[in-house]
Copies of this chain bind each other. A is one copy, B any other.
Amino acid sequence: MSVYSPRLARLIDALRRLPGVGPKSAQRMAFQLLDRERGAARTLAQALTDALEHIGRCPSCRMFCEGGDCRYCTPARTASGHLCVVEGPADLMAIEAGTPYRGRYFVLMGRLSPLDGIGPDELGLDQLQAQLATGDVRELIIATNPTVEGEATAHCLAEIARAQNVAVSRIAHGVPVGGELEYVDGGTLAHALSGRRQV
């Protein structure tokens, strides 16, 4: 006999599938939802069903989008001539929230990782190539993460852009603003030094 009754066990299992939620947290969530937060539980169930039904992918930038209109593929953004390539939706959100950049995006939904079976096809690189070929994009800004896979992806993206004669840039890597040199790791410091700019 399981410790939980069947429906409770199913709820706890479903909550455990959320990222960062282990057995204890899932149990705590289930008990709190059933005890004091039944309204919140109902809202969550509805929000999930609703999101699954109505949130899809923008065919152009591959970001999540509701209905037909993508809020990141507006004519104003297209007119800027900038296309920023990021690995995931969270990266796009971070750039939108923290920077004045208001150009278009291309969300890879991953990064090149042959061992995990993620190649150019999974990242939609042919689709990106087609967008660069239209001539709407003046500059491709590569904002993949500075990891081994992210750098490999950046290299591949740069080659695609160069083949289409589109200017290509990579966001700067260096000492974080507010950080202290003393506590910055060697790799970041080396990047900061080699990427120095005349003032």
Interface residues of A, Cβ cutoff 8 Å to B:
1, 3-8, 10-11, 13-15, 17-20, 25, 27-35, 37-38, 40-52, 54-55, 64-66, 71, 88-90, 93, 96-97, 109
Known contacts A33-B48, A45-B52, A52-B38: A66-B27 contact under CB 8 Å: no
Which residues of B are found within 8 Å of A19, using beta-carbon distances? 25, 28-29, 32
* Contact indicator A51/B7 (Cβ below 8 Å): yes
In the complex, which of the residues B1, B34, B48 contacts A51, with contact meaning CB atoms closer than 8 Å? B34
In the complex, which of the residues B14, B31, B40 contacts A89, with contact meaning CB atoms closer than 8 Å? B31
* Contact indicator B40/A14 (Cβ below 8 Å): yes
A52 to B65, CA, bound (A): 30
Q: How many copies of this chain does one complex carry?
A: 2
Additional A-B contacts beyond A10-B43, A44-B45 (10; CB < 8 A): A5-B65, A8-B55, A10-B47, A11-B50, A14-B44, A15-B47, A34-B51, A35-B64, A35-B89, A45-B48
Which residues of B are found within 8 Å of A48, using beta-carbon distances? 11, 14, 33, 41-42, 44-45, 48
A50 to chain B, nearest CB (A): 6
